[in-house]
Amino acid sequence: MTQFPEVMMALDLGPLDSHVGYLLRRAQLAVFADILPSLAEHDVSPADYAVLTVIDRNPGAGQSQVAETLGIQKTNFVPLIRRMEARGLVLRTPSARDRRSVALTLTPQGNALLADLHAAAQAHIERVRSHLGSAEYDSLLEPLQRLASVSRPS
Amino acid sequence: MTQFPEVMMALDLGPLDSHVGYLLRRAQLAVFADILPSLAEHDVSPADYAVLTVIDRNPGAGQSQVAETLGIQKTNFVPLIRRMEARGLVLRTPSARDRRSVALTLTPQGNALLADLHAAAQAHIERVRSHLGSAEYDSLLEPLQRLASVSRPS
DNA sequence: TATTGTTATACTCTATAACTATA
DNA sequence: TATAGTTATAGAGTATAACAATA
């Protein structure tokens, strides 16, 4: 016979426990919770990390291009990138061939910080990978890429 | 799920294109974007839908119990549940055996609305499923459940 | 002492409108 | 006309502190 548990009994989620949207949301929060402290040590948000990564891989790209790639509105991108410039992580240089746009590049400090962030991210990914098991982890990436590619801005 | 045309040349995402956290985030936004309009027609948020579902499956559960199950802080749960009560979707009855707590149940209107929401959710899930293919979709749920269960409150 | 529900509040994220200077 | 960047602002969503009533 089952006895009443001392801790609170979890409630029934019903159809939510196999709802892809609900599961994606909770899984994303759990995964972010794992890497958040490592990023916070460097005073960096997940969005900051993504921006630094994209600038590193696309030096000279314009603000709106970087913002749109990451699904960040250009209007919300301004304070984010300005803060990084103020921290000496990013260089904003007026483009010569299109004087409306600002070309983004990493400073040496930005590059050094990004190296630390990549290391932290790799350790984080290994934790997630070993939590799931390599096979299950690997099988996860492709479908997520297919879903993620839908949300690309027009 | 409708695919948006790509106007601009996409920048290189570097390691982000296989970063589980980044992919989970973008995938979650894409999937939510698909169901959001259907829910909005009923003036319901994803959180609202989840709350109604859990109350339906656990009639008489207390506020904090429902909130904690869904990872919502009890303090943020108050305006949410009060709005549902005001809309006539939820009944908040003082518990007899613990006069601190408020037992939650659905009204007939809440039940009727939830039926519509479940239908919309089912149609949404079918869109996602056919976008990914059944096999890939099915292979996605278990790892997501494993990840999502990490964030369950202790 | 601990827990349930509550208020007030602040902070982050995200969204919209409107502007400028360039193209 | 359209685009890159900007400002101001409003709305969500989420977080903490503190409290009253009850256990």
- pLDDT-derived band at A6 (thresholds 50, 70, 90) equals very low
Residue A121 with chain B: CB contacts under 8 Å: 15, 19
Query: Cα–Cα distance between B144 and A136 in angstroms, integer?
Result: 10
Question: Could you tell me which residue, A1 or A50, shows the higher pLDDT?
Answer: A50
| pLDDT for position A5 | 34
Residue ranges of domains in chain B, CATH in brackets: 26-148 (1.10.10.10)
| pLDDT for position B14 | 97
Mean pLDDT calculated for residue range A36-63: 97
CA distances in angstroms from A73 to A48, A49, A64, A70, B60, listed in the order given:
14, 16, 8, 9, 43
pLDDT tens track for B62-80 = 999 999 999 999 999 999 9
| Residue of chain A whose Cα is closest to the Cα of B123 | A19
Residue pairs between chains A and B whose CB atoms are closer than 8 Å: 204
Query: Cα–Cα distance between B145 and A77 in angstroms, integer?
Result: 33
A66 to chain B nearest CA, in Å?
A: 7
Q: Is A47 on the interface with B (CB under 8 A)?
A: no
What rounded mean pLDDT belongs to chain A?
92
Pick A28's closest partner by Cβ from B13, B24, B61.
Answer: B24
Mark yes or no for CB contact A132/B143 under 8 Å: yes
Start-to-end C-alpha separation, chain B? 36
pLDDT tens track for B13-46 = 999 999 999 999 999 999 999 999 999 999 999 9
Residue B35 with chain A: CB contacts under 8 Å: 21
| B135 CA, C4 C1': Å apart | 45
Chain C positions under 7 Å from a protein CB? 3-8, 12-18, 21-23
Query: Cα–Cα distance between B29 and B21 in angstroms, integer?
Result: 12
B103 - beta bridge partners? B62, B93
Check whether A8 has a pLDDT greater than 60. Answer: no
- pLDDT-derived band at A10 (thresholds 50, 70, 90) equals confident
Question: Could you tell me which residue, A5 or B128, shows the higher pLDDT?
Answer: B128
| Residue of chain B whose Cα is closest to the Cα of A30 | B151
pTM of the model: 0.93
Mean pLDDT calculated for residue range A25-32: 97
Collect all residues with Cβ–Cβ distance below 8 Å to A125 and sequence separation of at least 6: B19, B20
| pLDDT for position B55 | 98
Pick B24's closest partner by Cβ from A8, A12, A27.
Answer: A27
pLDDT tens track for B89-148 = 999 999 999 999 999 999 999 999 999 999 999 999 999 999 999 999 999 999 999 999
N residues, chain A: 154
pLDDT tens track for A101-131 = 999 999 999 999 999 999 999 999 999 999 9
Q: Above pLDDT 70, what percent of chain A?
A: 92
Q: A100: Cβ under 7 Å from strand C?
A: yes
